[in-house]
Each structure stands twice: as C-alpha cells, then as structure tokens.
Chains A and B, each alone.
Chain A
Amino acid sequence: MSESPLGKKPIRHRSTNQNLGLVLFAVYCLFYFGFIVVTVYDYTLLSTELFAGVNLAVIYGIGLILLAILLAVIYAFLARPDPQEPTEAAEI
C-alpha cells in the first residue's frame, strides 16, 4: 500500500479512484480515436445510414457526447470519497 504525498495516510481509496478513472478514460479514448481513424481512413464511411435514416457521422458524434456523460455518471457513482476530507460542504 502506498502513501499519500503528505506521507501519513494510506491512499488505497485514491488508487481505486485513479484506476477507475484511467479505465473509463481508456474506454472513451478507444471510441474517440476510433472516430478520428475512420474519418482519416475514409470519411465516406461516415455517410453510411445507420439508424432511422441518420448517417454514421451524426450517430457517432452524438454517441461520443452521450458516452462522455454516461462515463461521468458511472464514475460519480463508483468513485469513493476521500476520508481525509470533511464531510459537510460549506456553500457560498
């Protein structure tokens, strides 16, 4: 188990959050850079009608936006709070 930068408390929870973040980041990268590769390889592939007469370019673009939102929500549910932090938020 590693230690925090302050050298006091264990940071297993932090590693969990960080690992989770990196996994979700890798998933998104796969789709995002897939879009770039398809476009550069042959942009006409994106004209393929995929669903309800809408082409792959639009579906893929909207899909990337929705995927980012979905992964963010998954992260919010699965990430653990930092026990070093106070529990109550003070609002302005």
Chain B
Amino acid sequence: MTIAIFLFFVFFTLGLSWWLGRRAKTASGYFAAHGQVGWFVNGIAFAGDYLSAASFLGICGMIAFYGYDGFLYSIGFLAGWVVALFVIAEPIRKLGKFTFADALSAKFSNSRGITLAAAISTLIVSVFYLIPQMVGAGSLIKPLLGLEHHWGVLLVGSVVITIVVTAGMVSTTWVQFIKGSMLVVFCAILVVAILANGVRKIDGFDKNAFIENTPPGKKSPPILVNNPGPDGAVGPLEYIRTFSDSTFEQYSRPAKTTDRLPELTGPTVVQGSSLLLPGGYFSGVRSEKWIDRMDFVSLMLALFCGTAALPHILIRYYTVKDPTAARKSTVVGIMSIGFFYLLTLYIGLGAMVSGNTDPRDSNMSAPLLAKVFGAFPFALISAIAFTTVLGTVSGLILAASGAVAHDLIEVVGKRKLKDHAKVGAAKVAALTVGVIAVILGILFKDFNASFLVGWAFNIAASANLPAIVMILFWKGTTRQGVIASILTGLITSLAWLLLSGPAFKEIYKLNPADAIVPFSQPGLVTIPLAFITLIIVSHLTRRREPITN
C-alpha cells in the first residue's frame, strides 16, 4: 500500500504538471506564469516552495536528535519572512520582470555586469539549496522503496527534470499549492496524534538494536527512560512540560580508528529540560569562549537575512499581477509557514520520545514517526515529503534555468532569443542544473538537510541581500558597488564554508579542529563585509555613475 500511495502521488504530480504546463508556451508563461497567479494561491505556493526537505525532514530530524537546536531553524526560517514582507516584497515586485537579476539591474539601465554577477549568484545559491533536497530525497527512498540513497537521488532528479522541462511556472505553482496545503494539514493531524499518544516510547522498542546503529564518531539520539508525567493524551503545553521533566540517555561510538567497529560508550543521562535549551547541536552556545558562541549568532543572522535573498522565493513575486498581490501573498505565506513551524517542534520531540528513528539518518525522523501510527500515515507522510522535494526542486531549477536563459544568454550574451528559443534554452539549463544537483546530492548524503540549507542561506544573505537592500534604500548605490558587493559576498561566504569545521569533517574527512575559519557559519562576517564593500565601491565610483531614478 505504501508504494501504491507513493506512486499515486508521483504520477498525479507529473500528470498535473504536464496538463498545466501545456498552457505555458511563452517565456512570460514559463518563468512567471504570465504574472497572473492569484494572491492566495501564490501565498500557499510560497509555503510550498519554502517548506522544503530542510523544513520538514531536516528540522524535525535535528530536533529528534539534538532537541531545541533544530527549532532554531524554525525560528530563523520564519524570521526571514519578516524581512521579505516588510522590506523587500513590494519594491522588488515593481523592479523585476522574470528574474532576481532583472530587479537588481533595473535601476542601472539593465547593466550587463550586475546581471552576470546576479545570475552567477542565483546559480550557486540554487545549487547549494538543491543539495539538501536531493539528500532528503535519497533518505526518503531508502525505507520507502528499499532502494539505496543514490537511487533515491537519481529518481527525484529524473522526475523533477521531467516536471520542469515539460512545464514551467504555472504547473510549478499549482504543484506547490497542493503540496503546501497537504503538508500543513497532514502535519497538523500528525501533531494531534502525537499529543493523543502522550510522551511515551513505541511498544516493543528494541534498545540494543537501536544503539547498535549509532555510526562511528556520533552519539545515539536521546532514548526516553523515565517519564514522570501522565501516560495518556496531553495538551500542547503539558506535552512540553512532561518532556522537560523526563529523563533520557545517550550512547556514543568513538570515531573509527581500526577496521573493527569501535565499542559504544555510555549511557550519558540527559534531562529533558536540557534538551529544550540551545546548544545540543551548536555546542558553541554553551562554551566559555565568546568566539565559539559566534557560530550561533552567525547562523541566526544568516537565516534572518537569507530568505529575502533566495532566488526561487524572489521569482515568486513576479507570478502575481502587482505589488499589492505580492504583499497579500506574502502574508498568506507567513501564516501557513509559521503554523507549520510550530508543528515541527512537536513532530521532532514526538519522534525523539517514540524511539522510532534511525540513528544513522536524522532526515528520516518525521516519516518514521508517522509509521508509529500505522502504514497508511507513513505512506501518506512519505509521499507528501517526496512531493515536497519535487516541488522545491522544481522551483529551484526553474530559478536557475531562468538565470541562464534570460540573464546569461539574452542580457549578458546580447543574444535576443525568440520566446520558444528562450524556453528551450531554459529547459537545457534545467537539465544541466538537475544533473549537477543529483551528483552533489549523492556526495553530500551524510549531512542533515537543514544544516545544508543553512549554508545556502549564508551564501544568499551574503551575496544578494546587501545589494537588494542598498538598491532599494540608498540612492548613492552604483553599478560597480552592486557588482563588487555580490561577488564579495559570494566568494567570501563560499570560501568560508569550504574551510569550516563541518566541511573538514564530512567532505575532506579531516580533523574539524584543524579548520581554518574560527566558526562554521560565515554570515556574521560576510554579510557586513558585502555591505561595506558596496558602500566603499559606490563612494569611489559615485561621481561617474549615479543611480538613474
């Protein structure tokens, strides 16, 4: 039944996408749905775009494994929408046409330099955002269809490329609308089931089998050992209080040093109240050194500034007819996304106490929690999660293909394409970006999806946000200043991430203590750096080229 429901969802999505895609023959239809999407549909589609594998699989998984720190992503991801709504939404809708680069270059007579820099930034941010979606898809396929991680990534890659190549923004919008609605509704139902179940483990929990799956160099997720509270159904606040009063234990497996799997150590007793504080994952928060705590500050800043600078979110402002509709759809988006993020706390904690998680893969915690309530909820939640990945990846690939076809070929390359040629070029670009994402999704399979999305937020916030904000609010901004700011933010944030502890540990398999940068999240340094660069370069070049409005 699981496979039947799953296949139904995939074919339904593909069918709907193909049917709606027939209406998008022009470039305006392909990239921006003719700018005629209703504000409510667009608002829920915002939620569909935004509630990606990172929000659903990644956050719930991080809460299930580390407690409160996963919820920091929920707080930060939503806070970013405040910047989007109050600062960016309406002005950006007035400036653009198809892409983020359009908006940036509009005040500089469609500068080719800005368009080139913005297109490169769009491509890199999109690819970094695509990686965790692919990682999430691979995690999902393993228990669902019994296939290895890389087959899951390949399957998602193929389906999404088909969707984007055969469709465009109209169908992507509707896929996101349906997916966003279902995700919020079914997660709400899941939370009701969690509260009805109370704070207790699944029947027949096999502790030995559970801790044996702990990978080398990792801790097992917390295991509930004592719950002093009520055994049955509880209310939302009582659930948190009971969790806080409960006791958990964790086992650790030292990093592998020989061919033999090292023995487990533990248990370490952990109080529920401690799991409801920051520092379980971002351990620097609990450090005595100030520099260690900056990792947390940097992450929260990047999440705050990143949302409004994500290309696949920005292009959704062009699918509505005017700035008022952009504002209304953002409000609808914030309401549905905010409600969903409240649910993630309960889904994550519910997964932790149930014990039905896989210590090797945090990303599967939410679907495995659904399995506690039966095969049907598991199939349904897995299918929704898979559709979530499909929808988000479609939007991202669409943004990237727009950057190539519209920005790079037409504006930078000065090749005026006819509508069908432009759409054709976008489809070739979609195929290329999709293949790159599949390869990277296989390489990054050991990362938590939220953590990887945090990287994309850092890059977007560093490369794009300073340029957007200064164009909108500072008349002294010059073309050269914008270009310098985008490139500075892009290069420094990328370099920082690739020289950070997590990259040393998970990508290069080196000791993370040898990392070159002092903390892993670059935003705290690279966002101000991009702002300063823009201001200095604009001052140096202002006389020759003032802003044209």
Residues of A within 8 A of B (CB): 5, 14, 17-18, 21-22, 24-25, 28, 32, 35-36, 39-40, 43-44, 46-47, 51-55, 57-58, 61-62, 64-66, 68-69, 71-73, 75-76, 79, 81-82, 85-86, 89-92
> How many whole Å from A58's CB to the nearest CB in chain B?
6
Interface residues in B29-45 (C-beta closer than 8 Å to A): 33-34, 36-39, 41
**Closest A residue by C-beta to B82:** A28
How many residues on B have C-beta within 8 angstroms of the other chain's C-beta atoms?
A: 63
> Which residues of the partner chain B approach A36 to less than 8 Å between Cβ atoms?
296-297, 300-301
Interface of B toward A, CB cutoff 8 Å: 33-34, 36-39, 41, 68, 71-72, 74-75, 78-79, 81-83, 85-87, 90-91, 94, 107, 170, 173-174, 237-238, 240-241, 244-245, 273, 276-279, 285-286, 293, 296-297, 300-301, 304, 321-325, 327-328, 330-331, 334-335, 338-339, 341-342, 345, 549
Which residue of chain B lies nearest to A36 when distances are taken between CB atoms in the complex?
B300
A73 touches B78 (CB 8 A): no
Which residue from A5, A18, A61, A92 sits with its C-beta under 8 Å from B71?
A: A61
Q: How far is the CA of A90 from the CA of B107 in the complex (A)?
A: 28
**A58 and B37: CB pair below 8 A?**
no
Residue of B nearest to A66 (CB): B338
Evaluate contact between B86 and A22: CB separation under 8 angstroms. Answer: yes
Given A43-B277, A81-B324, A90-B321, is A64 in contact with B79 using a C-beta cutoff of 8 Å? yes
Q: How far is the CA of A14 from the CA of B89 in the complex (A)?
A: 12
- The reply to whether B278 and A57 form a contact with Cβ atoms under 8 Å apart is yes
Which residues of chain A have C-beta atoms less than 8 A from B339's C-beta? 69
Residues of B within 8 A of A18 (CB): 90-91
Query: A21 — which chain B residues lie within 8 A by C-beta?
Result: 85-87, 90
Which listed residue (B237, B277, B278) contacts A54, Cβ 8 A?
A: B237
Residues of A contacting B: mostly: helix
Q: Looking at the assembled complex, report how far the CB atom of A79 sits from the nearest CB atom of chain B, in whole angstroms.
A: 6
Q: A22-B86, A54-B244 are in contact. Are A68 and B304 (CB under 8 A)?
A: no
Which of A22, A86, A92 has the largest number of chain B CB atoms within 10 A? A92
Question: Which residues does chain A contribute within 8 Å of B300, judged by CB atoms?
Answer: 32, 35-36
Tell me, in angstroms, the Cα distance from A46 to B71 when the chains sit together.
Answer: 14
Whether B90 contacts A17 by the Cβ 8 Å rule is yes
Tell whether, in the assembled complex, residue B277 and residue A57 are in contact, meaning their CB atoms are under 8 Å apart: yes
Give the Cβ gap from B168 to chain A, nearest Cβ, in Å.
12
Q: Give which listed residue, A24, A32, A65, A89, contacts B38 with CB less than 8 A.
A: A89
Which residues of the partner chain A approach B68 to less than 8 Å between Cβ atoms?
Answer: 57-58, 61
Give B325 Cβ to nearest chain A Cβ, in Å. Answer: 6
6 nearest CB pairs, A to B: A53-B241, A21-B86, A25-B86, A91-B38, A85-B322, A72-B334
Pairs A–B under 8 Å by Cβ, sample size 19: A14-B90, A17-B327, A18-B90, A36-B300, A43-B277, A43-B279, A57-B277, A58-B68, A58-B240, A58-B345, A68-B79, A72-B82, A72-B335, A75-B327, A82-B90, A85-B322, A90-B38, A90-B321, A91-B36
